[in-house]
Chains A and B, each alone.
Chain A
Amino acid sequence: MVARIMVTNGPGGHPSWKHAEVTANKIVQVDQNASEEKQAAAAKLRRELEEALTQHHEDVKQWELSHIEEHGIDRCEHALAVENEHVDAVMETLANLTSGTILEDHFSKPEVLRIIREEILLPEFATQLHIHRSELADANRGHPCAEAYHTRHHGEKA
């Protein structure tokens, strides 16, 4: 039940590489008793995945920012819905990175893929959407959409 902290000073939310590090570490976990070969393969995959995920998280960020630019403060009224294509792209990257490796079997299991998709990628991408909308609401305090957003997601802002 260890929760991790991400802190970024200044506006704009967290940089994509920070999200990528979190996501990669959640996806690639290896038992301490695993063989050295598996430990090494996991470490290599984590590095490669983190690098690839930086672009995926950046894509999500730019996608959300483009919608904020299009809709303005009304974006706060939209559902915090992650696009399937963003998740699918990561799943494809993961399949490519693990193909032919000692980790391929593990990352082919339906239950493992379900957890990666539903319990890791969806919430981590949704976190990005939320942060950018929260900043949007912060910048538009007093607007009904901003106040409603803060009430729903933050409680009243001080």
Chain B
Amino acid sequence: MATTGICNSWKVEAMFAAHCFGAIVSISGTTTNTAFTITGLASTAGIAVGMAATGTGVAAGAVVASIDSATQVTLSKASTASATVTVTFTGDAFKILLIKVGPGRTFDNTQTNVGTPGTGSPTTSNVGTDEVASGGGYTSGGVALVNTSPSLPGTPSTTATVSFANPSWTSATISTTAAIIYNTASRLGAATTAAITGRSVSVHDFGGTQTVTAGTLTLVMPTNDGTNAIIRIA
């Protein structure tokens, strides 16, 4: 069982800029060996501080440290080669996991973290064994979501939205009752541990058991507009 809602913790974390829903930006840029800057970008629109940067000659694990101008960004790590290449900037990687039939607890907007899906006792910080078990076309942790960049759809525009492509499980034999969207990125510090990952975004009840046998289960996201989008800030 679950109650659909945006997680309370996410609302706070959104104000900490702890979740980046920016969609992928791939653009030509020039790297310089041992330099931290990427120059010659046609635009920095859609790029935000903290987004991951990848590309030939871009150091592994580099993220955007600053936006310097309309044509230049500075990364957290120095480039390893000099060249003009396609640089890809990506926001956080969000996933969606499924909750099994007859879970031990009722998931709702008090969920803070998915913890270690598939392992441990279910709590507000760990989905644990309440996740659908791996197998039959389902993998613990769920599937990756492809997000659209935040926008203000509609005229006049007063509600910011973000959405995702419809996730599907194919060749699947699954029974499920709910889903949780979560962020796999490590953007939040913690008092006693390293950065926290797996922060919950929202919980979605399916209104009952949904069962698919050797077939396809698709979660249809609502239209990305100011009235229906899966995540909205009015």
Q: Interface on A for B, CB 8 Å cutoff?
A: 1-11, 13-14, 22, 26, 29, 111, 115, 119-120, 123-124, 126-127, 130-131, 134-135, 138-139, 152-158
- Do the beta carbons of B155 and A111 come within 8 Å of each other? yes
Contact A9 B214, beta carbon cutoff 8 Å: yes
Count contacts on B: residues with CB < 8 A to the other chain.
51
Taking a contact as CB atoms under 8 Å apart, the answer to whether B136 and A154 are in contact is: no
Q: Is the CB of A13 within 8 A of B4?
A: no
Interface on B for A, CB 8 Å cutoff? 4, 6, 95, 134-144, 146, 153-155, 163, 165-166, 168-171, 179, 202, 204, 206, 210-225, 227-232
Across the interface, which residues of B come within 8 angstroms of A153, CB to CB? 143-144, 146
Are A7 and B168 interface neighbours, CB within 8 A? no
Residues of B within 8 A of A157 (CB): 137, 139
Q: How far is the CA of A135 from the CA of B214 in the complex (A)?
A: 11
Is the pair B206, A5 in contact by a Cβ cutoff of 8 Å? yes
CA distance A120 to B217 in the complex (A): 19
A6 to chain B, nearest CB (A): 4
Given contacts A130-B165, A135-B170, A155-B139, contact A6 B225 (CB under 8 A): no
Set of chain B residues within 8 Å of A130, measured between Cβ atoms:
165-166, 168
Taking the closest CB of chain B, its distance from the CB of A127, in whole angstroms, is 4
Contacts of B215 in A (CB 8 A): 7-11
Which B residues are in CB contact (< 8 Å) with A154? 139, 143-144, 169
* B230 close to A158 (CB less than 8 A): no
Q: Is the CB of B168 within 8 A of A3?
A: no
List chain A residues, Cβ under 8 A from B221: 3, 123
